[in-house]
Copies of this chain bind each other. A is one copy, B any other.
């Protein structure tokens, strides 16, 4: 059974699985920018950057002004809040893992002390 949130997470995760797209989001976190401005720091053609922006738009991560002449892009962080909530479910698992590792490291430490005696 696939729910609406499942579908949204599919699109969001797929959009985030690319370093250029993540860099575009980091840039937009500082403020809106035109496609030309976004293309500057990357060694990419405008059509290649536009393609990435379209993927981000479909995932709801980027919105574009409809009326302004240069149609600046803006970040919509709402899907990232969903990503964070989704990942945070697993916090007890990764915290248990690091607790176990700490216990293990303390055991090693104890063994070393024993050896030094």
Contacts and interface: CB of A to CB of B under 8 A. Distances in A.
Interface in A81-106: 81, 83-84, 86-91, 93-94, 97
B80 A83 contact: no
A14 B75 CA distance: 21
This chain: how many copies in the complex?
2
A78 interface: yes
Nearest to A78: B94
B10 A18 contact: yes
Contacts of A88: 84
A26 to B, nearest CB: 8
Nearest to A18: B10
Interface residues of A, number: 33
Interface string A59-95: 0000000000000000111101101101111110110
Nearest to A87: B84
Given A9-B16, A10-B17, A13-B14, A29 B80 contact: no
10 contacts: A14-B17, A17-B17, A22-B86, A29-B90, A29-B93, A75-B93, A77-B97, A80-B93, A81-B87, A81-B90
